[in-house]
Amino acid sequence: MKTQVRTYCGLCHPRCGLVLDIENGRAVRAHGDKHHPVTRGLVCPRSQLMIEHLYHPDRINHPLKRIGPRGSGQWQRIGWDQALDEVAGALDALRKRYGAETLAFTHGTSRTYHWDERRFNNLFGTPNICGANNICMCPSQAVEYATYGGFSWGDMRHSRCVVIWGYAPSKSNLSDWAGLMQAKKHGVKVIVVDPRRIPEAEIADMWLAVRPGTDVALMLGWIRIIIEEGLYDAGFVERWTVGFDELKVAVAAYTPVRVAAITWLDEEEIVASARLYASTKPATLTWGFGTDKQGVNATQTARARAILRAICGNLDVQGGEPLGWVEPVGSIISEAELELNEALPPEQRAKQLGADRYPFFGYPGWEMNLANNRKLPKGYMQPSMAGISCVAHAHNVFAAMLSGKPYPVRAAISVASNPLLSLPDPKRTYAALKSLDLYIVHEYYMTPSAALADYVFPACSTVETSQLWHSMDFCVACPRGVEPLFERRNSYDFWRGLGIRLGQAEYWPWQTVDEVWDYCLAPVGLSFAELAAQNGIFGRREYRRYEQLGFGTPSGKVELHSQIFAELGAEPLPVYREMAHSPAGNPELYAEYPLVLITGSRFMPMYHSEQRQLASARNRHPDPLVLLHPETAQEMNMEEGEWIRISTPQGSIRMRLRLSERIDPRMVDLEHGWWFPERPEAEPELFDVFSSNANILCPDSPEFCSPEIGSWPHSALLCRVDKIEG
C-alpha cells in the first residue's frame, strides 16, 4: 500500500516541510512539501539522506550500558526503565556527595528542543550547561539584547543593499541563499566581506577579502567614514541613541590608512563600501559565523555590527533589520518560559563555572538583559533563553573535571552534541570525559564522544517526533512522519524520564511532547493538531514599534555606549584587538607558522560531524579537505590530492589537499567535524577521532577568548603546512 505523510526535515536549523512516501509501512522517499507555508517545497540535498539515516544499520536502537572499561566498546543492551533508574540513582548519589553543580551538560546546535534540557538542569540544581553557544550566534544575540533589546535577522527580500558578512548561505542556509538570489533579480546591491571568494562574492557589487579576525577594525573604519561624511541617520541618532559622542571618539583612530594596514584591504574599497552601505536604504547587514568564530574580537564585532545597523537607520524597517515578535505568534508560550529558570536558586547560579571571568554570558549579564526586557510589553520582544545566552564556559568545565577545582565536576550528560568534535582542544575534552564517574549520552549513532559514555540512550530522528517551530512572524506545526522505530525516543522523553525519577514529577505534567505543544498554543486558542490542519499562523508586521514602546535597554534607547558592558567591567564601546597569534600580534611565531588559518567553512551535504557514516554523503565527500592557493602549494612542492600535515602551536592533523584560487595565498582553509565511523570504536582507535579533527588546532584558554563572552577561536589562527613523507 502506498501513502504519503507530511512531516519535516530537522537535519539542520530551518525545519523545512518534507513529505515521506510510505510503501508497506516503510518510508521510501523524501521530498519537499509544496504546501508548507514557509519553505514551499524547497529542500536542500541533505534532506535526501533522511531515508538512509532513518533505517541506517549503525543507528543506536536500544539503551546501552557499558560493561568493559570506559572506551573499550563493550556494551550490554538494557531497557529504558532500567537505564533511567540506574542513571537517576547514580546522579542522586553524586548530588548528595558533591552538590548539584557536580553535573555538567554539553549542548550542540539547535537539533532537539533545548528548553527541556534547561528545565531538567534547573530543577536538578546545576548551572553548568556548556557548549557551542559561546561561539555560535548566541553571543551576537546577547550583544544585540544589550544594545537594542532584541535580536534581528535581516529582511533580505525587501532590502536595497545586503551585506553578507562572514556568512556563506549558499553552503549553510539555503533559504537565505534563495532570498539573496531573488533580491538580486530585483537589483539589490550586494557587498560581501569574506576572506574567500565564495559564490556570494561572484554575484556581489563589491567583495572585500578581509584578513580573518580583523572585521571589527573594518567596521570601526566604516563607522568613522559614515560619521565624518554625515551618512548616518541624524534624526534616529538624536532621538533614539545614547553615546554618539563617545562613539565618535572611539572610532577616531580607525582611519582608512590604518584599517587598510590591519585588514589586507585597500583604502579605496574601504571607503567605497562604507558609502555604498550607508547611502543605500534600506540595508541589511547579516549575522555570520565567520565573525563569531574569531575569538578575542568576536564580541566587539557583534557590537560594531549592531551599531552600524542602528546609526544607518535600518532598525525595525522593512528591508532592514526587523525587531520583535508579531501577534498572535508573540502570545504563544515561549521556550524561555518552558525553561523554568526561576527554579535555579541564586546560590546555585553563583556557582556557574567561568562566569566570574565572562560575566556577560553568565547569569550576571543574562539577568541584566532579562530585567530590561521585562520593561517591555510581554510577547513583544521575547526574553533571551538562558539556554542561549547564559552558559558555563567549556574550558572551565573540563578543567574542573580534571582538577576538581573550584569544585568537583564528576558527571556529564550530552544530548545532540559531540563535544570531542565540536569543541577546541579535544585531547583535553577526552581526558576530562574519561575521568568522570558518570557520563550519559543521548544519540543517533555511536560517536567518539558516545563511545566514552557509561550509558547511551537511543534518539529518534526528527521525522519520528513532532516540533512546534516558530520565528518572530510565524508558527508552524512540524508533525511526526513515522512512529519511532525500535526503542528510540525524543529528548523530551529522555529528560522527563530522568526528571520524574529525581523528584521533579510535578514539573513534567505532560506525558508526551505533543501535550507540551498544546499547552504552548492554548493562549492563541489552538491545539497542535489544529495548527497543523490550518497550516500555521502568521502575524502581520508593523515597523518602528520602538516609537511607541522604546528599546529594552537600561536607557530605553539604542546603547552605542553600553551601560550593561560598563557595569560588568567590559569595554562599553567597540575596539579592535590584535590576536595573541597573528602576523602583527606575534611576529616570531608568524615566522614559524606563516599562514593564517580558518576552519569549519560549511559544505554540503555534511552537517558538523554528522553524515560520515551515510554512504551517499561519504561517496560524494570521502575525505577531510584542506584548501591552499596553488602558489602556496607550489612553494611547498605539494600537489592536489596528497595528504599534508597542518600544525598550530596547539597540535597537528592531516588532511587531503585541494587547490583553490578562491583563497588568499597567505591562508589555509580546512573542514571541521571529521572522524571515521568505519574505523574501530574501541580505544586506542576511537574512530580515529584525533587524526583529522580541526579542533586539535584550536585553543580555548583565556588569552584567545573574547574577554566579554569567552568566545574561542575556530578561525583567525596561525598555522603551518608540511608534506607528509611516505
Binding site residues, ligand SF4, CB under 6 A: 9, 11-12, 14-16, 43-44, 46-47, 174
Distance of closest approach, residue 34 Cβ to ligand SF4, in angstroms? 14
Question: What does 694 interact with, of ligand SF4, ligand MGD, Mo ion, none (CB < 5 to 8 A by kind)?
Answer: ligand MGD
Q: How far is the CB of 111 from ligand SF4 (least distance, A)?
A: 10
Strand order in 2-8's β-sheet?
Answer: 2-8, 17-23, 26-32
Instruction: Decide whether 39 or 715 has the Cβ nearer to ligand MGD.
Output: 715
CB closer to Mo ion out of 583 and 673: 673
Closest CB to ligand MGD among residues 373, 418:
418
Using the minimum distance from each CB to ligand SF4, give the nearer residue, 21 or 92.
21
Closest CA to 570 of 359, 260, 283, 391: 359
Q: Which residue lies nearest Mo ion, judged by its C-beta? A: 136
Q: How far is the CB of 287 from Mo ion (least distance, A)?
A: 11
- 430's contact among ligand SF4, Mo ion, ligand MGD, none, with CB below 5 to 8 A by partner kind, is none
Q: Can you tell me the distance from the alpha carbon of 391 to that of 165, in angstroms, rounded to the nearest whole number?
A: 26
* Nearest distance in Å: CB 165, Mo ion: 16
Nearer to ligand SF4, 568 or 617 (CB): 617
Position 109 contacts Mo ion (CB under 5 A): yes
Q: Residue 405: helix, strand or coil by DSSP?
A: coil
Cα dihedral 256, 257, 259, 263 in deg (nearest 10) = 120
Query: Contact, 36 vs 492, CB < 8 A?
Result: no
Q: With contacts defined by CB under 5 A, name the span among 16-24, 132-140, 424-432, 494-502 that binds Mo ion.
A: 132-140
> CB 692 → ligand MGD: shortest distance, Å?
11
Identify which of residues 301 and 553 has a Cβ nearer to ligand MGD in the complex: 301
Which of Mo ion, ligand SF4, ligand MGD, none does 458 bind, CB closer than 5 to 8 A by kind? none
Decide: is 697 part of the binding site for Mo ion (CB under 5 A): no
Per CB under 5 A, 136 contacts Mo ion: yes
Which is nearer to ligand SF4, 389 or 462 (by Cβ)? Answer: 462
Bridge partners for 596 per DSSP: 667, 718
Tell me the three state secondary structure of residue 499: helix
For residue 697, give Cα distances in angstroms to 106, 226, 328, 700: 21, 38, 47, 10
- Least CB distance to ligand MGD at residue 265 (A): 11
The CB-of-550 to Mo ion minimum distance in angstroms stands at 32
Residue 108 interacts with, from ligand SF4, Mo ion, ligand MGD, none (CB under 5-8 Å by kind):
ligand MGD
Rounded Cα distance, 580 and 395, in Å: 18
Smaller CB distance to ligand MGD: residue 260 or 568?
Answer: 260
Q: Is residue 241 within a helix (H) or strand (E), and if so which, with residue range?
A: strand 241-242
Rounded Cα gap, residues 357 and 710, in angstroms? 8
Residue 192 pairs in a beta bridge with 164, 207
Query: Which entry of Mo ion, ligand MGD, ligand SF4, none binds 120, CB below 5 to 8 A by partner kind?
Result: none
| β pairing state of 129-131 and 103-107 | parallel
Residue 598: contacted member of ligand MGD, Mo ion, ligand SF4, none (CB under 5 to 8 Å, by partner type) = ligand MGD
Cβ closer to ligand SF4: 177 or 576?
177
| Residue 459 interacting entry, from ligand MGD, Mo ion, ligand SF4, none, C-beta within 5 to 8 Å by type | ligand MGD
Distance in angstroms (rounded) separating the CA atoms of residues 95 and 124: 9
Contacts of 603 (CB under 8 A, 6+ apart): 171, 621, 671
Nearest to 550 by CA among 380, 376, 378: 376
Residue ranges in 99-241 assigned as alpha helix (H): 115-124, 138-148, 169-172, 174-185, 199-202, 215-228, 234-240
The 10 Å Cβ neighbour count of residue 505 is: 11
Nearer to ligand MGD, 314 or 447 (CB): 447
593 grid coordinates: 607558522
Q: Is the peptide bond before 328 cis (omega within 30 degrees of 0)?
A: yes
* Nearer Cβ to ligand MGD (165/363): 165
CB of 195 to ligand MGD, least distance (A): 5
Residue 48's closest CA among 29, 33, 34, 27? 29
Where does 512-568 show beta strands of DSSP type E? Answer: 537-538, 558-559
Q: Which residues in this chain contact ligand MGD in the complex, by CB under 6 A?
A: 12, 108-109, 111-112, 132, 136-137, 165-168, 171-173, 193-196, 198, 210, 212-213, 215, 288-291, 293-294, 415-418, 421-422, 442-445, 447, 459, 491, 598-604, 606-610, 672-673, 694-695, 698, 714-716
H/E segment holding residue 505: none
Burial class (CB in 10 A: 0-12, 13-18, 19+), 567: middle
Rg (the chain; Cα; Å): 25
**Exposed, middle or buried by CB within 10 Å (0-12, 13-18, 19+), for 35?**
exposed
Decide whether 13 or 541 has the Cβ nearer to ligand SF4: 13
Residue 319 Cβ vs Mo ion, minimum distance, rounded to whole Å: 26
Residue 291 lies near Mo ion (rule: CB under 5 A)? no
The backbone torsions φ and ψ at residue 545, rounded to the nearest 5 degrees and listed phi first, read -70, -15
- Asked whether position 417 contacts Mo ion by CB under 5 A, the answer is no
What's the closest the beta carbon of residue 216 comes to ligand SF4, in angstroms? 30
Q: Binds 9, which of ligand SF4, ligand MGD, Mo ion, none (CB < 5 to 8 A, cut-off by type)?
A: ligand SF4
To ligand MGD, the closest distance from the beta carbon of 707 in angstroms equals 18
Q: Which of 110-118, 130-138, 420-428, 466-474 is the region at the interface with Mo ion (rule: CB under 5 A)?
A: 130-138
Three-state DSSP at 413 gives strand
Burial of residue 619 (CB within 10 Å: 0-12, 13-18, 19+) is exposed
Residue 14 interface partner, choices Mo ion, ligand SF4, ligand MGD, none, CB cut-off 5-8 Å depending on type:
ligand SF4
- Segment lying near Mo ion (by CB under 5 A), choices 1-9, 128-136, 444-452, 584-592: 128-136
Closest CB 164 distance from Mo ion, rounded Å: 17
Selection from ligand SF4, Mo ion, ligand MGD, none that 16 binds (CB < 5 to 8 A by kind) is ligand SF4
Q: Cα separation of 327 and 329, whole Å? A: 5
Nearest-approach distance from CB 582 to ligand MGD, in angstroms: 11
Nearer to ligand SF4, 32 or 256 (CB): 32
Residue 165 binding result from Mo ion, ligand MGD, ligand SF4, none, given CB thresholds of 5 to 8 Å by partner type: ligand MGD
Q: Tell whether the torsion through CA atoms of 195, 196, 200 and 202 is positive or negative.
A: positive
Q: Which does 604 bind (CB under 5 to 8 A by kind): ligand SF4, ligand MGD, Mo ion, none?
A: ligand MGD
| Binding-residue total with Mo ion (CB under 5 A) | 2
Residue 591, CA atoms < 13 Å, CB-side half-sphere: 2
Q: Kindly state the DSSP code that residue 103 receives in the 8-state scheme.
A: E
Identity of the residue, 336 or 415, whose beta carbon is nearer to ligand MGD in the bound complex:
415
- Please say whether the beta carbons of 358 and 707 come within 8 A: yes
- Residue 672 binds which one of ligand SF4, ligand MGD, Mo ion, none, with CB within 5 to 8 A depending on kind? ligand MGD
Q: Does 141 bind Mo ion (CB under 5 A)?
A: no
Task: Specify the residue, 500 or 604, whose C-beta has the smaller distance to ligand MGD.
Answer: 604
| 210, containing H or E segment | none
- Reading the block at residue 372, the C-alpha cell is 530590561
Nearer to ligand MGD, 107 or 410 (CB): 107
What is the contact surface with Mo ion in residues (CB under 5 A)?
A: 109, 136
